[in-house]
Amino acid sequence: MIHTDEQMQAAQQAVLNLKKVLLEARRVHSPQDYRRLAEPILLELQRREQEILEYLTKTVAETPVG
């Protein structure tokens, strides 16, 4: 769960990194291998993007301090 702007920025960077991994994997793996490799990464992307969206829907007053 994301509690700070810094954690949100780290999550955004992680999302970018995962997308870069997938883009590179598409170039070097067969379609079948890519699908197997991509599945858990795509699930992780969904999870992280959902956390980012949940964080961004909260106001500053709703986020924990510290």
Task: Give dist(CA 49, CA 55) in Å, integer.
Answer: 10
| Average pLDDT score, the chain | 94
Indicate the pTM of the whole model. Answer: 0.83
- What do you get for the CA distance between the two ends of the chain, in Å? 14
- Specify the 3-state DSSP secondary structure of 12: helix
- Regions of the chain with pLDDT less than 50: none
pLDDT of residue 65: 62
DSSP class per residue in 6-33: HHHHHHHHHHHHHHHHHHHHHHHS-HHH
pLDDT of residue 56: 95
pLDDT of residue 59: 85
Tokens of 33: 């291998």
